[in-house]
Amino acid sequence: MSMDEDTKDGGSRRDFLYLTAAAFGAVGTGSVAWPFIHQMNPAADTKALSTIEVDLAPIEQGQAITVMWQGKPVFIRHRTAKEIEEARTVDVSSLRDSQTDEERVEKPEWLIMVGVCTHLGCIPLGQKTGDVKGDYDGWFCPCHGSHYDSSGRIRKGPAPKNLPVPPYAFVSDTKIKIG
Amino acid sequence: MGSGNRQPFDNPVIEWVDSRLPVFTLMNKEYGVFPTPKNFNYFWNFGAIAMVMLILMLVTGITLAMHYAAHTDVAFSSVERIMRDVNFGWLIRYMHMNGASFFFIAVYIHIFRGLYYGSYKQPRELLWMLGVLILLLMMATAFMGYVLPWGQMSFWGATVITNLFSALPVVGPGIVEWLWGGFAVDNPTLNRFFSLHYLLPFVIFAVVFLHVWALHVTGSNNPSGIEPNGPQDTIPFHPYYTMKDTAGLLLFLLIYCIFTFFMPNALGHPDNYIEANPLVTPAHIVPEWYFLPYYAILRAVTFDTNLFLLIGLVCAAYLVAVNLWFTKKPENCPVATTFKIPVLQDIPMKALEPLMAAGAVLFLGIGGMIAFMPDMGMAKMMDAAAPVLVEAKLGGVLAMFGSIAMLFVLPFIDRHPYRSAVFRPWFKVAVLLLTIDFFVLTYVGGKPAEGLYVLVAQAATAYYFAFFLVIIPFLNKFEPRVPLPPSIHQYVLDKKAKKKQKSDDYMNALKPEAAE
Ligand code: HEM
Ligand code: FES
């Protein structure tokens, strides 16, 4: 390295050029790569499918229906007084993912949640009258044996979280909008 | 590869091409006269067999893609159309389906060969690691291929496996949505899986090329594990091994054909002939048979790893490390001396070791109790003091990927100077047990994760990791070193002499005079 003027402070103009070129190269590569990564994220039309309306009137007490929302099943259960009672008398601090039943419902008789096991994504059983409902009178995931209670909270088995509650609102007394 | 000192060919056409682009010289050098150890057994066939299977997969796959349609509305029926209406469609699909299984059979035997005869060792480390990379790529390819027919197992297998990534803290859920291109496995997922399923085999092809290139730099290992050191140890690849490979290949393909023609669905799951239904989960989700060992390892971690359990494991690992991983036991704590931790670096190992041993027993005991018997009174009391650090779901995922990572780093763990298990009596036992362990994992991976199956899977997983982390380091240090024959040639002669001796003894024993 010659003892030029510009090496006095320990770096040459060439070093500076190398560094800026490398920095611009990295930013440039990144900004070209991003569209190719981001294209794999949910597309606009996929995201647009994200609200549905459901009429609750035909669902009798003790019955449940499953609707599709964002490609996932949503469980809608018209709970009986017994089920609500069971869900509310639990000691919340003893739960793996502690949440009160009140936090999980708008109206106590209507339990609305995404029916996808938080373990590895199977659909728990318990929607149909003949289904096994697990040890806590709610849902049972046959894949690896997770038990959910009548509020959809995880009680036993490998799943880490409660069945998630989707964003929804009552647009009238018997109609909800999910999403 | 250069054309500098090229031997001219007699055939004028070949000579014309070769003097401009020396492909014939290259082929002759690498596959004609290539000096190869003369003592290969039939385990050395499986590389060539795997290569043939890869080409078979490419040909059948590209032809299937001419009729297959990657859309959730029609994917299932397009495969059914291939089976019923497309001319010879049934044959091409069955060849592809069973081809995947037999590709894995060939590659697993190939890997076993590498393990048993120590082919992963210096100077073939990179060759081995490229092989493990090929295995990983094959797994990704086969997984995505299995999703394409859009049956129940396709859909639910894809759901369970992509959901594994949700176990990663913070970024997990984002990654899963990114993989899906939506909020569940759906049409965007199927589409991209088809695109990648088409691409990856060509990537595999490129890595295979590097793998073979690396092989031709180091040359092949052989059953004795001794490097050839002269022409008496080698023979030209052609015709000797082109013929031996062909013989083995034909036998392998014969068995493959028996499956393809007479029991094409024996290795598959009947539920995949039911169209995918996002609302109904099959009772037992099982992956294809070649994934079962890893699936068993995944599900073996049924427990959360709490703070105590982790401390206990670290203590145990420390003891294994100072006693086995280090060639000579360090005087003081190696961590403390490297980081110049005051006080700690002055404590002699003699005093530290019993401390660590006590820590291991105590913490593994309490941590294990909390993890495995959470309902016991004692465990409940201690529970609050030991926060969960790695949830079971994440632990399973780490163990599963860790099992492949072990293969990847094996060349750097095993420092015993001998390669072949033929001259390593202890290693031989350990590696054969590992092979049995692999079958056990395969078996329990296909069973429901309950009761005894979980315990067996846990024990088998423990042995799998112990093989790499404890047994191999132990053998590095303590396995006796019997004298090796000076050359492959001598090894072959010794073996012949021994065999002859045996048969002579037998014949002598049969003779009536000998009885008197
Ligand atoms: C490394 C090589 C390959 C492996 C291990 C592999 C594996 C698989 C597997 C396991 C299946 C599911 C079979 C079934 O159950 O129906 C499949 C399907 C399929 N593969 Fe491949 N494949 C490979 C190469 C290719 C290539 C190069 C193509 C070319 C595009 C291709 C195209 C297809 C198509 C179109 C299907 C769906 C039709 C069907 O299910 O039979 N594959 N593949
Ligand atoms: S997916 Fe429900 S328990 Fe595993």
What DSSP element (H or E) covers B496? Answer: helix B488-510
- Domain containing residue A67: CATH number: 2.102.10.10
Domain residues for the domain of A117 are 47-178
| Residues B319, B321, B327, B333, CA torsion sign | negative
Crossing angle, helix B152-163 and helix B172-180, to 10 degrees? 150
Ligand 2 shell residues, CB under 6 Å: A 117, 119-122, 141, 143-146, 157-159
Burial A43-66 (b: 16+ CB within 10 A, else e): eeebeeeeeeebebeebeeeebee
- Give the model's pLDDT for residue A132: 84
- Give the model's pLDDT for residue B467: 98
Q: Do A122 and B393 touch (CB under 8 A)?
A: no
What pLDDT, in 10s, does the model give residues B113-172?
999 999 999 999 999 999 999 999 999 999 999 999 999 999 999 999 999 888 888 899
- Give the model's pLDDT for residue A3: 52
Q: Rounded to an integer, what distance in angstroms lies between the CA atom of residue B26 and that of residue B189?
A: 43
Same domain membership, residue A83 and residue A66: yes
In a 3-state reduction of DSSP, which class is residue B226?
coil
Question: Which of A168-177, B103-112, B232-241, B326-335 has maximum average pLDDT?
Answer: B103-112
Q: Which residues contact B396 (CB under 8 A, 6 or more apart)?
A: B164, B167, B297, B298, B299, B300, B301
Exposed, middle or buried by CB within 10 Å (0-12, 13-18, 19+), for B486?
Answer: exposed
Query: Looking at residues B264-279, what average pLDDT do you find?
Result: 95
Residue that the structure tokens 């190869």 belong to: B36
pLDDT at B93 over 80: yes
**Candidate CATH numbers 3.40.50.280, 3.30.450.40, 1.20.810.10, 3.40.50.2000; the one for domain B41-227+236-271:** 1.20.810.10
- Give the model's pLDDT for residue A71: 83
Strands (E), B169-212: none
Same domain membership, residue A94 and residue A117: yes
Tokens found for residue A75:
């469980």
Query: Looking at residues B353-361, what average pLDDT do you find?
Result: 88
Residue that the structure tokens 């002499």 belong to: B497
pLDDT at B83 over 50: yes
Q: Rounded to an integer, what distance in angstroms lies between the CA atom of residue A129 and that of residue A80?
A: 13
The answer to whether the beta carbons of residues B120 and B414 sit under 8 Å apart is yes
Same domain membership, residue A61 and residue A32: no
Percent of residues, chain B, with pLDDT higher than 90: 70
Percent of residues, chain A, with pLDDT higher than 70: 94
Percent of residues, chain B, with pLDDT higher than 70: 96
pTM of the model: 0.89
Between residues B386 and A57, the one the model is more confident about: A57
Query: Looking at residues B27-37, what average pLDDT do you find?
Result: 89
Residues of B in contact with A179 (CB under 8 A): none
**B477 among known catalytic residues:** no
Tokens found for residue B413:
């763990």
Q: Rounded to an integer, what distance in angstroms lies between the CA atom of residue A18 and that of residue A9?
A: 16
Domain count, chain A: 2
Same domain membership, residue A81 and residue A32: no
Indicate the residue of B163, B182, B391 with minimum beta-carbon distance to A42. Answer: B182
The answer to whether the beta carbons of residues A152 and A138 sit under 8 Å apart is yes
Number of inter-chain CB pairs under 8 A, A vs B: 76
What pLDDT, in 10s, does the model give residues A134-176?
888 899 988 888 899 999 999 888 888 899 999 999 999 889 9
The ipTM is: 0.79
What pLDDT, in 10s, does the model give residues A97-129?
889 999 999 999 999 999 999 988 899 999 988
Distance (Å) of CA A82 to CA A137, A151, B209, B326, B416: 10, 12, 67, 64, 68
DSSP A27-75: HHHHHHHHHHHHTTSPPHHHHHTT-EEEE-TT--TT-EEEEEETTEEEE
Q: Rounded to an integer, what distance in angstroms lies between the CA atom of residue B143 and that of residue B190?
A: 12
pLDDT-derived band at B383, boundaries 50, 70, 90: low
The answer to whether the beta carbons of residues B152 and B274 sit under 8 Å apart is yes
pLDDT at B514 over 60: no
- Give the model's pLDDT for residue B450: 79
- Give the model's pLDDT for residue B375: 67
Average pLDDT, chain B: 92
Residues of B in contact with A42 (CB under 8 A): 177, 180-183, 188
Same domain membership, residue A163 and residue A102: yes
Q: Which residues contact B483 (CB under 8 A, 6 or more apart)?
A: none
Q: Which residues contact B270 (CB under 8 A, 6 or more apart)?
A: none
What pLDDT, in 10s, does the model give residues B171-227?
998 999 999 999 999 999 999 999 999 999 999 999 999 999 999 999 999 999 999
Query: Looking at residues A51-76, what average pLDDT do you find?
Result: 90
- Residue spans of alpha helices (H) in B28-88: 46-65, 75-84
pLDDT at B1 over 50: no
Among B63-67, B68-72, B320-324, which stretch is predicted with the lowest mean pLDDT? B320-324
- Give the model's pLDDT for residue B338: 84
Backbone phi and psi for residue A77, each to the nearest 5 degrees, phi listed first: -120, 130
Count the neighbouring beta carbons within 10 Å of the beta carbon of residue B253. 16
Count the neighbouring beta carbons within 10 Å of the beta carbon of residue A142. 20
pLDDT at B276 over 60: yes
A37: closest CA of chain B, how far (Å): 9
The answer to whether the beta carbons of residues B142 and B200 sit under 8 Å apart is no
Length in residues, chain A: 179
- Give the model's pLDDT for residue B378: 66
Same domain membership, residue A172 and residue A101: yes
Task: Name which residue sits closest to atom 1 of ligand 2, judged by CA.
Answer: A120
Backbone phi and psi for residue A85, each to the nearest 5 degrees, phi listed first: -55, -50
Same domain membership, residue A9 and residue A57: no
Same domain membership, residue A86 and residue A28: no
Same domain membership, residue A100 and residue A21: no
Count the neighbouring beta carbons within 10 Å of the beta carbon of residue B505. 11
Query: Smallest Cα–Cα separation from B356: which of B328, B307, B323, B385?
Result: B323
The domain ranges of chain B are 41-227+236-271, 298-475, 485-516
Q: Rounded to an integer, what distance in angstroms lies between the CA atom of residue A85 and that of residue A108?
A: 10
pLDDT at B382 over 80: no
Among B28-42, B269-283, B329-343, which stretch is predicted with the lowest mean pLDDT? B329-343
- Residue spans of alpha helices (H) in B324-448: 334-338, 349-372, 377-383, 392-413, 425-445
Query: Smallest Cα–Cα separation from B290: which of B99, B52, B57?
Result: B99
* B288, B304, B414, B437: the active-site residue: B288
* B67, B238, B244, B495: the active-site residue: B244
